[in-house]
Amino acid sequence: MFSVLLYKLEIIKGGLALNYNGKRVPPVVIRRLPRYYRYLGELIRNGVMRISSNALSERMDVTASQIRQDFNYFGGFGQQGYGYNVEHLYMEIGDILGLHDGYRTAIVGAGNLGRALANHDTFEKRGFKLRAIFDNSPDVVGTTIHGIEVMHIDVMDDFLAENPIDIGILAVPRSAVSETADRLVAGGVKGLLNFSYAELKMEKDVAIENVHLSDSLMTLSYKIKQGE
């Protein structure tokens, strides 16, 4: 989810709309990029130096032709008769997703979800730099999460004015999502990762990724029911 948001953020920074070097990239292709990145990372850790589209297809349950078609949106990367250099492809996809840029992030909402996100190793592994955590509860303001002191949300505007943040992560109640998002964007935030139950939409030039955990649970419930 973070990687997809980063791709959208890179697109916005470049003044494009889900394009890459003039090519229109289907959203489904963008959503496969993080999967490619993860699998390639596993191959590197296992000492695999090169791989064909057929071999990658077997690992990912995506057809070889689909893999080649996906990569062609971004330049192809492979060599006929050789396949793909795994490390090179891994680095290229990381660049496309913006994972090497070191985006500065802030979490708004330090409840159970916000704490879990702050402590998740995704931030450091993927190059995210968590700079701030905000909340309005006296029970958590002033406490420390993952080495960062939780600040009151009342100081958020002043903090953003002095400390540029690229990505705002919303772990707030549904009723507070719209106002919080507006404040973050007004403070210069370019991308929003929304974990509330609200479907966040904004007219401003900002990348948004809405994450609905309950939807995934219901999809899983459907799969279990059909399996029975």
- Do residues 167 and 210 share a domain? yes
81 and 8 in one domain? yes
Structural domain count of the chain: 2
Looking at per-residue confidence, does 143 or 59 come out higher? 143
Q: Is the pLDDT of residue 17 over 50?
A: no
Cα diameter, the chain = 63
Mean pLDDT of the chain: 84
Residue 126 is predicted with a pLDDT of: 73
Confirm whether 9 is domain-assigned.
Answer: yes
Which positions ≥6 away from 125 have C-beta within 8 Å?
none
pLDDT over 90 percentage in the chain = 46
Residue 221 domain-assigned (yes or no): no
- Give residue 41's domain range: 2-97
The total number of residues shown for the chain amounts to 228
Query: Where does the chain show beta strands of DSSP type E?
Result: 19-20, 23-24, 50-51, 84-85, 104-108, 129-135, 144-145, 148-152, 167-170, 191-194, 207-210
Phi, psi torsion values for 185, nearest 5 degrees: -65, -40
Contacts of 152 (CB under 8 A, 6+ apart): 134, 135, 136, 141
On the question of pLDDT at 168 being above 90, the answer is: yes
**Of 70, 97, 124, the domain-final residue:** 97
Query: Are residues 109 and 57 both part of a single domain?
Result: no
